[in-house]
Amino acid sequence: MSAPVVTNLATPLSEAEVLRIREDFPILQTQVNGHPLSYLDSGATSQRPLAVLDAEREFASTMNSAVHRGAHTLAAEATELFEDARSTLARFIGADDDEIVWTSNATEAINLVAYSLSNASAGRGGAEADRLRLREGDEIVATEMEHHANLIPWQELAARTGATLRVIPVDDDGALRLDDAAAIINARTRIVAVTHVSNVLGVINPVAQLIAMAREVGSLVLLDACQSAPHLPLDVKELDVDFAVLSGHKMLGPTGIGALYGRRELLEAMPPFLTGGSMITTVTTTAAEYLPPPQRFEAGTQRVSQAIALAAAADYLTAVGMPRIAAHEAAFGRQLVDGLSAIEGVRVLGAGIDLPRVGLASFDVAGIHSHDVGQFLDDLGIAVRVGHHCAQPLHRRLGVTSSTRASTYLYTTQSEVDAVIDGVAAAIQFFRRGA
């Protein structure tokens, strides 16, 4: 089943269009605890339309086979679909086909880059890789709002190479302190790793300014696009980043599939991360020669059905229209911030940041643990995320240990946004009566 083709890309999705889209998502027709499911946890894992479910099922049912290995018909068909999926995802983010590396998720993609830089620093990869080598005195820059997946790999890279990890701080609202960034990013900076959209604050960071700072000093840039690729038009070439990562399960695709974008010339210079079959040209008992990228970074049996399904997800999003999805979510993001902030005792993290945002808001309720708020909402059939959202440093900076997060997507309705706001108000009344 194909996605509904939506025209007039300058306007948000109408309620009628959203209801039509929801028909493609079987899980949204279910009930939870006697209530219709209101799924407001797409920032963690999005739901999958029939087009995605059918793509993976059809491959498994009719042409399941290993890719790049066999001469028989099924192997050839599988390889063609697998590489077509790579091309589809490349178009979706404005990359070239050979600049997309399949990974299990964005976490693996970031680790791929960090470990490849480690291998270059250890002298692997020859003269081409030497320019990627990190040495003692070099610096890696991340931000205080990063997901742990875009922080811990850089901590480990610094420990392995003797480089120093520096962190751009946020202000009291949670916004990046760009003045501090201008001082932190300097001639010793080798790579800047930054999230495009905060998974806690929902704000779209001014990454163009950070990229410009990095370019002035000759630094590489890695963009965490996990919360932007599903929700915003994304063009990695236009942004001028060296690397970008995304996860399929956040953009209507299956789990177990993600991707790394890397500039072709950088991928060609990088030594491999994982080694084994499928990424080699010649092997002896003492040495091996490696394929060019992207296959150099795709050791072992690949995620064929998942890649095909992720391509179907990208096609679905393209058919609906990323600009319209962005407009739809921006409206809901503002409604969540305003509606929740109006409730006495609720603090929306990042509410004071004057930046565009996606449809996501994390909040703290005075005197009530986030898990209790989440459980109360779940009793009403409303699914939200609770905890620190793999962003402990940011929560610590903002003075909270955890928060409740509501996140929307193209299938979210106005009534669901209203329901979560009303549900939080009801939760406060419930717990205060019991106090």
Contact residues for 347 (Cβ-Cβ < 8 A; gap 6+): 341, 363, 364, 365, 366, 400
The CA distance from 41 to 29, in Å, is: 16
The CA-atom distances, in angstroms, between 357 and each of 196, 200, 327, 331 are 11, 11, 10, 9
Contact residues for 389 (Cβ-Cβ < 8 A; gap 6+): 147, 199, 200, 362, 395, 403, 405
DSSP-derived 3-state class of residue 221: strand
The CA distance from 408 to 358, in Å, is: 8
The CA distance from 56 to 319, in Å, is: 19
390 is catalytic: yes
Catalytic residue among 390, 400, 425, 426: 390
The CA distance from 303 to 309, in Å, is: 10
Neighbours of 58 (CB within 10 A): 15
The CA distance from 161 to 275, in Å, is: 21
Sign of CA dihedral 119, 120, 122, 123: positive
The CA distance from 366 to 374, in Å, is: 14
The residues annotated as belonging to the active site are 390
